[in-house]
C-alpha cells in the first residue's frame, strides 16, 4: 500500500526544527534558579599547585561558591574512569593514573581544571574566576610522545615514571620477521599522524539540577551516549544510585567522538548542584573547547611492507607511539590498539602482520576517539605503504592493489578480525571509472602546459563498525557492553513511537530509523517518530560512536519490530478466527493466507488497547515491545577513493580538483543522508591532510593552534564537489544488511589526498610529506628538490 | 567581556569630545577586531564610543579622478559599489576578499586602517594607490600613515573621517590567503598611477610596505616579467605558524607578478 521506504531519499524529519532555530540544545535549557559555572583552568602545561586562595572570588558580587580539588576529595568524589583495560606485552595492566575532576596538587596540561566558580550569571562567575588566586610552581613540560619516553623527560604521573601507559602488541612477530627475510622488496615509511581538534559546532555544555524533594539529579549534557555517561558518573565518580540520576542529551550539535566521554565538567556541575541546591550550568567557550575537548590521532609510526618480486604482500611490521595526552580519557586506551592494529590488513591478503604500540602520557589535552578512531590511522599506514610500494616497484598503484585484494569471504585476517563480506574490486573499478583515471595522463599534460603539477592518489580503506560482540570485547579489556536497546511503542490508533539507545547529533536517525520502522510496518513515515537521548525515556542505550547506530541500534529496533508483528499476528488470528500460523503480515495489513480476510495494523493495535474482543486468557493487552541486540561480529564497510590534485609549484598550494568516492556500506536506508555523512567525513579527512594540525609549543606546552585564526578546519571552498556512488554487499549478520557510514570519509580521505600529492611530486624525488600538507610545506618540498 | 559604558554620538565632534574625556575609552567602528578582543577579555575599555550613528562618516563619492569613501563604510558596500567597480575595480575586488561575508557586512574602512593589522587588506590599497587619509584634524598621506605593527600616525582622539583614493590607470590586488583566518599571508597591490608605479605589500611584514625595486622595474616596463626576478629580503618579515619569513619573501615576488598580470587583463 505504500512505496518502499528503505532506499528512499526522504528529507530529514529533524531539519525543520534545526533550520528554523527550534532545536533545544543543552545551553537552551534554563532552569528555575539557574546558576552558572566557569572553570579556572591551568595556564601551565605542567605545574605544582602550591596554593589556591578563594577569598577574593567569594567576595565578588554574584559569586555563590568556589570549589577546588580539595573540596571534591573531601566529599569523596572519585576520579574519571577509563572504560578499556589494555594489558601490555609484559603481562601487566596499563598504568591508570588518577584523573581527578579538579586538579589535586598538580596540573598536567594547559586547560586542566583547577577550580570552578559558580555565580548568579556567567559574567559574575567569570569575574570571580579571575579573582581565584592560584600559586603555581611551573615544571618542565613535554608534549611530544617520542620525547616523553626519553630518559630525563619530565614525568607526569608517579605511577608512570617513564610516562608509558603500556606497550601492547598484536600479531606473530617471528613470522613477520621471517617474511621480511625473504622479501624481494621492502617499503618503509616513517610519519606522524597529526593530532586533530574535533570542533563540533555546538561546544560542550552541561546543566545539572538537584531535587531535594526526592534526592534526585537531572543532568542535561551535550553527550553522545547518555546512559554510559550516567553509568560512569554514578558508579565510578559520584557513588550515586542510577535510579536517582536522569541524564538527558537533548539536541546535540555534532560530536565526532568528542562527546562520548565523561568529562570533568559534567561531574563537577552535577556535584555542585547538590551543594548549592540550585541548577548549575556550564557551556564551553570555543577557546575552552580547543584546550579541553579530547583531541584525536597523534601517532608517530614506523611502518614497513614486505613484498615478493611481483608486488604480492608478504608481511607488514608497524611500530607506533601513541600520544594519550595528560590523562586517560574514557576510551583512550583502546583507540591506538584494538581499533587500530586490527585494521592493518586493510583490503589485502597480507598473510602476517605485527604491530607494536607504546602509549605515552604527555602534557597535552587527553586524546581519544575522533571520527574514525584508530581506523584512519591504520588506513593511512596501509594505503601510504601500498601506494609507495607500487611507485618504488614501478607498478600501477591500482594493479598492486588488485594483486593483493581479498576475494573470498568470510576472510580471517592475521590481526584478529573476520571480514564477513565485501567486493573490493567492484568499488575500485567504479571509483576509477568515475574519476576518469584513463584520462588522467591527458589532464596532467594539460596542467603541465599551465605550469601546474597534477597527481592522482588512491585509498582503498576498510573499516570495522559496530564494535562487538560484548563477550569478546570484554576478553580484550572492554569494561562496558557493546549491545544496543530499542523499543517500539504502538499507540492505540496505530501510530508508533520508537525509542532507541542510539543517539543522534547530526546523523539523521529520526529519519533513517523512522524509515526502517515505517517500511517494515508498511506505515506512512509520518506515523513514526523516534525518541532518543533521555535515560528516563529510553530503557537503556550504549549511544552513538564507531558508526554503530544503524548496524547495532537499527537491529535492536528490527528485533523489537519482529516481536510487534508476532504479537500482532496472534491478535489478528483471534480477531479473524484463524490459526496464527495462517496469518501473514504484508505492508500494514494482517491477512489470512489464501483468503480475502484482513485487518489493518491500526485495527490490531486498537484491539490490543481496547481488548473487548481479545484473547485475554492467553495474551497480555497492549502493543509495546523492546529488544536488546548484541552483534555477533563487526560490520566491515569498505570503499575506494580516487583523489586528483593540482599543485601550484610557485606557491605550493594544493587544490583538490576531483574526488571520487565509491563506498560499500551494505544496504543503504537513505542515500541522501548517507551522502551527507560521506561529504562530512571526506571534508574532515581532507582537513587532516591539508589544513588541520594541532600544535603545542614544544618548550612551554602552550596550545599554539587555540582558535580558528590558527587552527584551520576546511571551508566549502577548500573541497571539491564530490562524486559519490555506492556498491552493496549486504552485511551477512544483521537483518538489515547494513554496515555503517559515519566515519568512512574521514578514514579513507587522508591517504587518498597524500597519495595524490606525492604522486604529483614523485618525479621530483619527494617520497613522503607530512600532514597537513600546507602550501609552505609543499613549496619547500618542491623548492628544496629544485635547489638540490 | 567586562562591563563598559556605551556611547553613540551623532557627530564627529561629539565623538572626539567623548574620546578626549575617556582615557580608557575606545572608538568602535565595525567591531570586527575590538569586540573579539573584548570577548576574550584581552581588551577591557571603560567606554565604547560607537561611530555607527554618524551619517557624515558613511558613503562613497566619486569625483573626477578620485574615489572618496567614508570611514564607516562597510567592506561589503565598497565591494558591491558600481561606482567603485568602475573607477577603481581593484579596490572593489580587494574589499570583496576581506574576511568572510559576516566580516564584510560589519567591518569598515576606517576601522581597518586605524587598527593597522599587519595582515589586513585595506592598507595595501591605501599605500598602493597613494591615498589620502582624512581625519577630523588633518589630511595624512598614505606614505606617512602606517608606522608599524598596529601603529599609525593617528593621535589620541583623532578620528578618520574618510579616505580619498586617486583612480589609477590600472591596478590589481592579489592575495595569498591564510587558510585559517583568510587574512593575507601576503597581499600585493600594484598600481600604475600614470605618474609612476606603486607596489604595496601587506601581510608579509609588521606593517604594509612598498617595494622600490619593483616599482622602478615596473616603471620602466609594466609587465609580469619585470618583477619575476626581483626578490625581497626575508630579514624582518613575519614568521608564524602559517608561513616563514623566507616563504613570505618568495610569495611577495609571486604575488607581485600575478598582480601585474591581473592589472593588464
Nearest CB among A126, A704, A712 relative to B179 is that of: A712
In a domain, B229, yes or no: yes
In a domain, B65, yes or no: no
What is the chain B residue with the closest CA to A127? B2
A130 vs B contacts (CB less than 8 Å): 41
* pLDDT value for A788: 58
In a domain, B149, yes or no: no
Rounded to an integer, the average pLDDT of A164-183 is 98
In a domain, B83, yes or no: no
B1 vs A contacts (CB less than 8 Å): 123
Rounded to an integer, the average pLDDT of A697-724 is 96
Quick check: do A299-467+633-787 and A483-629 share a fold?
Answer: yes
- A299-467+633-787 has which CATH code? 3.30.365.10
Contact A774 B250 (CB under 8 A): no
A651 vs B contacts (CB less than 8 Å): 176, 251, 254
Nearest CB among B3, B40, B254 relative to A287 is that of: B40
CB-count burial class (<10 Å; 0-12, 13-18, 19+) for A582:
middle
| pLDDT per position as a tens digit, A266-280 | 999 999 999 999 999
Long-range own/partner contacts, residues B150-157 (CB < 8 A, 24 or more apart): B150/B115, B150/B116, B150/B117, B150/B118, B151/B116, B151/B207, B152/B113, B152/B114, B152/B116, B154/B114, B156/B19, B156/B20, B157/B16, B157/B19, B157/B20
CATH number at B30 reads 3.30.43.10
- What is the domain partition of chain A in residue ranges? 31-81+99-138+201-254+259-292, 299-467+633-787, 483-629
Instruction: Report in angstroms the alpha-carbon separations of A45 from A140, A143, A325, A539.
Output: 8, 9, 11, 42
Asked if the C-beta of B220 comes within 8 angstroms of chain A's C-beta atoms, the answer is no
* pLDDT value for A3: 73
Please determine, for residue A2, whether its predicted confidence score (pLDDT) is greater than 70. no
Asked if the C-beta of B239 comes within 8 angstroms of chain A's C-beta atoms, the answer is no
A500 in helix, strand or coil? strand
A41 vs B contacts (CB less than 8 Å): none
The counts of H helices and E strands in chain A are 20, 28
Nearest CB among B2, B41, B243 relative to A776 is that of: B243
What is the chain A residue with the closest CA to B183? A709
| Backbone angles phi and psi of A562, in degrees to 5 | -60, -40
* DSSP state letters, chain B: ----EEE--SSHHHHHHHHHH-TTEEEESS-TTHHHHHHTTS---SEEEEGGG-GGG--EEEETTEEEEETT-BHHHHHH-HHHHHH-HHHHHHHHTSS-HHHHHH-BHHHHHHHT-TT-SHHHHHHHHT-EEEESS-EEEHHHHEEETTEESPPTT--EEEEEEEPPSEEEEEEEE-TTT-SEEEEEEEEE-SS-EEEEEESSSSS-EE-HHHHHHHHH--SHHHHHTPPPP-TT----SS--HHHHHHHHHHHHHHHHHHHH-
Widest pairwise Cα distance in chain B: 57
Q: How far is A428 from A418, CA to CA, in rounded Å?
A: 21
Asked if residue A469 has a cis previous peptide bond (ω within 30° of 0), the answer is yes
CATH number at B183 reads 3.30.390.50
What is the chain A residue with the closest CA to B99? A709
Instruction: Report in angstroms the alpha-carbon separations of A763 from A380, A454, A697.
Output: 22, 11, 34
* pLDDT value for A488: 98
Task: Tell me the shortest Cα–Cα distance from B164 to chain A, in angstroms.
Answer: 31
Question: Domain range spanning residue B30?
Answer: 5-53
Q: Which residues of chain B have pLDDT under 50?
A: none
| Backbone angles phi and psi of B75, in degrees to 5 | -55, -40
CA atoms within 13 A of residue A449's CA, in its CB half-sphere: 5
* pLDDT value for A784: 83
Contact A709 B40 (CB under 8 A): no
* pLDDT value for A318: 98
What is the chain B residue with the closest CA to A651? B251
pLDDT band for A787, please (50, 70, 90 cuts): low
Asked if the C-beta of A691 comes within 8 angstroms of chain B's C-beta atoms, the answer is yes
Q: How far is A379 from A402, CA to CA, in rounded Å?
A: 17
Asked if the C-beta of A712 comes within 8 angstroms of chain B's C-beta atoms, the answer is yes
Contact A712 B180 (CB under 8 A): yes
Q: Is A325 left (phi over 0), alpha (psi -120 to 50) or beta?
A: left
Q: At what angle do helices A671-686 and A744-761 cross, to 10 degrees?
A: 50
Contact B241 A779 (CB under 8 A): no
Q: In terms of CATH architecture, what is A483-629?
A: 2-Layer Sandwich (3.30)
| pLDDT per position as a tens digit, A352-374 | 999 999 999 999 999 999 999 99
| pLDDT per position as a tens digit, A409-425 | 999 999 999 999 999 99
**Percentage, residues of chain A above pLDDT 70:** 99
Virtual CA dihedral for A84, A85, A89, A92, nearest 10 degrees?
A: 170
A707 with A680: CB under 8 angstroms?
no
Asked if the C-beta of B181 comes within 8 angstroms of chain A's C-beta atoms, the answer is yes
What is the chain A residue with the closest CA to B243? A776
Which of B247, B250, B256 should one mutate to test binding to chain A, selecting the residue with the greatest count of A CBs within 10 A? B247
List of residues 6+ apart from A513 with CB closer than 8 A: A498, A500, A502, A530, A550, A553, A554, A557
B40 vs A contacts (CB less than 8 Å): 287
| pLDDT per position as a tens digit, A92-104 | 999 999 999 999 9
pLDDT band for A1, please (50, 70, 90 cuts): very low
Rounded to an integer, the average pLDDT of A632-651 is 97
Contact A710 B179 (CB under 8 A): no
CB-count burial class (<10 Å; 0-12, 13-18, 19+) for A181:
exposed
Contact A776 B244 (CB under 8 A): yes
Nearest CB among B2, B241, B254 relative to A650 is that of: B254
Widest pairwise Cα distance in chain A: 91
What is the chain A residue with the closest CA to B176? A651
CB-count burial class (<10 Å; 0-12, 13-18, 19+) for A450:
exposed
Nearest CB among A651, A691, A710 relative to B176 is that of: A651
Instruction: Report in angstroms the alpha-carbon separations of A497 from A488, A531, A532, A624, B247.
Output: 6, 7, 10, 10, 60
| pLDDT per position as a tens digit, B147-159 | 999 999 999 889 9
Asked if the C-beta of A705 comes within 8 angstroms of chain B's C-beta atoms, the answer is yes
Contact A718 B179 (CB under 8 A): yes
A181 with A244: CB under 8 angstroms?
no
In a domain, B33, yes or no: yes
In a domain, B217, yes or no: yes
Task: Tell me the shortest Cα–Cα distance from B223 to chain A, in angstroms.
Answer: 18
What is the chain B residue with the closest CA to A777? B243
Q: How many domains does chain B have?
A: 2
| pLDDT per position as a tens digit, A565-607 | 999 999 999 999 999 999 999 999 999 999 999 999 999 999 9
A783 vs B contacts (CB less than 8 Å): 250
- Mean pLDDT over all residues of chain A? 97
Nearest CB among B1, B41, B241 relative to A704 is that of: B241
B103 vs A contacts (CB less than 8 Å): none
Contact A651 B251 (CB under 8 A): yes
| pLDDT per position as a tens digit, B211-242 | 999 999 999 999 999 999 999 999 999 999 99
Q: At what angle do helices A397-404 and A375-392 cross, to 10 degrees?
A: 110
What is the interface pTM, i.e. ipTM, of the complex? Answer: 0.95
Rounded to an integer, the average pLDDT of A26-38 is 98
In a domain, B172, yes or no: yes
* pLDDT value for A322: 98
* pLDDT value for A435: 98
Q: Which B positions 110-149 lie with beta carbon below 8 A of chain A?
A: none
What is the chain B residue with the closest CA to A779? B247
Q: How many CB pairs under 8 A join A and B?
A: 42
Is CATH 3.40.50.720 correct for A31-81+99-138+201-254+259-292?
no
Q: Which A positions 629-658 lie with beta carbon below 8 A of chain B?
A: 650-651, 653
Amino acid at each position: 500500500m505504500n512505496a518502499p521506504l528503505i532506499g528512499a531519499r526522504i528529507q530529514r524529519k529533524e531539519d525543520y526544527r534545526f533550520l528554523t532555530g527550534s532545536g533545544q540544545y543543552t545551553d537552551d535549557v534554563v532552569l528555575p534558579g539557574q546558576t552558572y559555572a566557569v572553570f579556572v583552568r591551568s595556564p601551565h602545561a605542567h605545574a605544582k599547585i602550591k596554593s589556591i586562595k578563594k577569598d577574593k572570588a567569594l567576595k565578588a558580587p554574584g559569586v555563590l561558591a568556589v570549589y577546588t580539588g580539595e573540596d571534591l576529595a573531601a566529599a569523596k568524589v572519585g576520579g574519571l574512569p577509563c572504560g578499556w583495560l589494555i594489558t601490555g606485552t609484559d603481562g601487566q595492566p596499563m598504568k591508570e593514573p588518577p584523573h581527578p575532576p579538579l586538579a589535586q596538587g598538580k596540573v598536567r596540561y594547559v586547560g586542566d581544571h583547577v577550580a570552578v566558580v559558580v555565580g548568579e550569571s556567567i559574567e559574575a562567575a567569570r569575574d570571580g574566576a579571575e579573582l581565584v588566586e592560584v600559586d603555581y610552581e611551573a615544571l618542565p613540560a613535554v608534549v611530544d610522545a617520542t620525547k616523553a619516553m626519553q630518559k630525563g623527560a619530565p614525568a607526569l604521573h608517579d605511577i608512570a615514571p617513564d610516562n608509558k601507559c603500556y606497550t601492547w602488541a598484536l600479531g606473530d612477530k617471528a613470522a613477520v620477521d621471517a617474511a621480511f627475510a625473504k622479501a624481494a622488496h621492502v617499503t618503509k615509511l616513517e610519519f606522524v599522524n597529526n593530532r586533530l581538534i574535533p570542533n563540533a559546532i555546538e561546544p560542550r555544555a552541561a546543566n545539572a539540577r538537584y531535587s531535594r524533594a526526592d534526592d534526585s539529579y537531572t543532568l542535561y549534557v551535550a553527550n553522545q551516549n547518555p546512559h554510559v555517561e550516567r553509568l560512569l558518573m554514578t558508579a565510578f565518580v559520584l557513588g550515586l544510585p542510577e535510579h536517582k540520576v536522569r541524564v538527558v542529551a537533548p539536541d546535540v550539535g555534532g560530536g565526532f567522538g568528542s562527546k562520548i566521554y565523561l568529562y570533568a565538567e559534567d561531574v563537577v556541575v552535577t556535584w555542585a548542584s547538590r551543594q548549592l541546591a540550585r541548577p548549575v550550568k556550564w557551556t564551553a567557550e570555543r577557546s575552552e573547547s580547543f584546550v579541553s575537548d579530547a583531541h584525536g590521532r597523534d601517532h608517530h609510526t614506523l611502518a614497513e611492507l614486505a613484498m615478493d618480486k611481483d608486488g604480492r604482500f608478504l608481511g607488514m611490521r608497524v611500530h607506533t607511539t601513541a600520544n594519550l595526552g595528560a590523562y586517560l580519557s574514557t576510551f583512550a586506551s583502546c583507540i591506538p590498539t584494538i581499533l587500530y592494529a586490527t585494521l592493518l590488513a586493510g583490503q589485502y591478503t597480507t598473510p602476517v602482520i605485527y604491530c607494536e604500540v607504546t602509549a605515552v602520557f604527555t602534557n597535552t589535552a587527553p586524546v581519544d576517539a575522533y571520527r574514525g578512531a584508530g581506523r584512519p590511522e591504520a588506513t593511512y599506514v596501509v594505503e601510504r605503504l601500498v601506494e609507495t610500494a607500487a611507485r618504488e616497484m614501478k607498478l600501477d598503484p591500482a594493479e598492486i592493489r588488485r594483486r593483493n585484494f581479498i576475494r573470498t569471504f568470510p576472510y580471517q585476517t592475521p590481526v584478529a578480525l573476520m571480514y564477513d563480506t565485501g567486493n573490493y574490486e567492484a568499488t575500485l573499478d567504479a571509483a576509477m571509472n568515475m574519476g576518469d583515471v584513463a584520462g588522467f595522463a591527458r589532464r596532467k599534460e594539460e596542467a603541465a602546459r599551465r605550469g601546474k603539477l597534477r597527481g592522482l592518489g588512491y585509498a582503498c580503506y576498510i573499516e570495522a563498525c559496530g564494535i562487538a560482540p560484548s563477550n569478546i570485547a570484554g576478553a580484550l579489556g572492554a569494561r562496558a557492553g557493546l549491545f544496543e536497546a530499542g523499543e517500539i511503542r504502538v499507540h492505540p490508533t496505530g501510530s508508533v513511537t520508537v525509542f532507541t539507545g542510539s543517539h543522534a547529533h547530526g546523523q539523521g536517525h529520526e529519519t533513517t530509523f523512522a524509515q526502517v520502522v515505517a517500511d517494515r510496518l508498511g506505515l506512512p513515515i509520518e506515523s513514526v517518530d523516534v525518541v532518543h537521548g533521555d535515560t528516563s525515556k529510553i530503557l537503556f542505550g550504549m549511544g552513538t560512536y564507531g558508526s554503530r547506530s544503524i548496524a547495532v541500534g537499527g537491529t535492536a529496533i528490527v528485533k523489537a519490530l519482529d516481536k510487534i508483528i508476532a504479537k500482532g499476528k496472534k491478535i489478528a488470528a483471534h480477531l479473524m478466527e484463524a490459526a496464527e500460523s495462517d496469518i501473514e503480515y504484508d505492508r500494514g495489513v494482517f491477512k489470512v493466507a489464501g483468503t480475502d480476510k484482513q485487518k489493518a495494523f491500526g485495527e490490531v493495535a486498537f484491539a490490543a488497547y481496547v481488548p473487548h474482543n481479545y484473547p485475554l486468557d492467553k495474551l497480555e493487552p497492549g502493543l509495546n515491545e523492546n529488544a536488546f541486540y548484541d552483534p555477533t561480529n563487526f560490520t566491515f564497510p569498505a570503499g575506494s577513493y580516487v583523489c586528483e590534485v593540482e599543485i601550484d609549484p610557485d606557491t605550493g598550494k594544493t587544490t583538490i580538483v576531483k574526488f571520487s568516492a565509491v563506498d560499500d556500506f551494505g544496504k543503504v536506508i537513505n542515500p541522501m543522508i548517507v551522502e551527507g555523512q560521506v561529504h562530512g567525513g571526506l571534508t574532515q579527512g581532507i582537513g587532516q591532510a591539508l589544513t588541520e594540525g594541532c600544535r603545542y609549543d614544544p618548550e612551554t606546552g602552550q596550545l599554539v593552534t587555540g582558535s580558528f585564526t590558527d587552527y584551520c578546519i576546511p571551508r566549502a571552498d577548500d573541497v571539491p564537489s564530490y562524486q559519490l556512488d555506492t556498491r552493496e554487499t549486504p552485511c551477512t549478520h544483521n537483518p538489515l544488511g547494513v554496515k555503517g557510514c559515519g566515519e568512512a570519509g574521514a578514514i579513507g580521505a587522508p591517504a587518498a589526498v597524500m597519495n595524490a600529492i606525492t604522486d604529483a611530486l614523485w618525479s621530483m624525488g619527494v617520497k613522503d610529506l607530512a600532514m597537513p600538507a600546507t602550501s609552505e610545506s609543499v613549496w619547500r618540498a618542491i623548492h628544496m628538490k629544485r635547489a638540490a | 567581556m567586562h562591563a563598559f559604558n556605551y556611547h553613540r554620538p551623532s557627530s564627529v565632534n561629539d565623538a572626539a569630545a567623548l574620546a578626549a574625556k575617556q582615557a580608557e575609552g575606545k572608538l568602535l567602528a565595525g567591531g570586527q577586531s575590538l569586540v573579539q578582543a573584548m570577548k576574550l577579555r584581552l581588551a577591557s575599555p571603560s567606554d565604547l564610543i560607537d561611530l555607527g550613528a554618524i551619517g557624515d562618516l558613511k558613503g562613497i563619492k566619486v569625483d573626477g579622478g578620485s574615489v572618496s569613501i567614508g570611514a564607516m563604510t562597510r567592506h561589503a558596500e565598497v565591494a558591491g559599489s558600481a561606482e567603485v567597480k568602475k573607477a577603481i575595480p581593484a579596490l572593489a575586488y580587494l574589499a570583496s576578499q576581506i574576511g568572510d561575508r559576516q566580516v564584510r557586512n560589519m567591518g569598515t574602512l576606517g576601522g581597518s586602517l586605524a587598527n593597522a593589522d599587519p595582515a589586513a587588506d585595506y592598507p595595501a590599497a591605501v599605500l598602493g594607490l597613494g591615498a589620502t587619509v582624512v581625519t577630523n584634524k588633518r589630511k595624512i598621506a598614505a606614505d606617512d600613515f602606517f608606522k608599524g605593527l598596529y601603529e599609525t600616525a593617528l593621535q589620541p582622539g583623532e578620528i578618520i573621517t574618510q579616505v580619498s583614493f586617486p583612480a589609477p590607470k590600472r591596478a590589481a590586488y592579489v592575495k595569498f590567503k591564510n587558510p585559517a583566518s583568510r587574512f593575507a599571508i601576503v597581499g600585493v597591490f600594484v598600481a600604475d598611477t600614470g605618474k609612476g608605479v606603486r607596489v604595496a605589500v601587506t601581510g608579509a611584514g609588521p606593517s604594509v610596505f612598498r617595494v622600490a625595486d619593483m616599482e622602478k622595474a615596473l616603471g620602466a616596463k609594466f609587465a609580469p616579467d619585470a618583477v619575476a626576478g626581483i626578490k625581497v629580503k626575508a630579514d624582518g618579515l613575519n614568521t608564524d605558524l602559517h608561513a616563514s619569513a623566507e616563504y613570505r619573501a618568495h610569495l611577495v615576488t609571486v604575488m607581485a607578478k600575478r598582480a601585474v598580470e591581473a592589472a593588464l587583463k
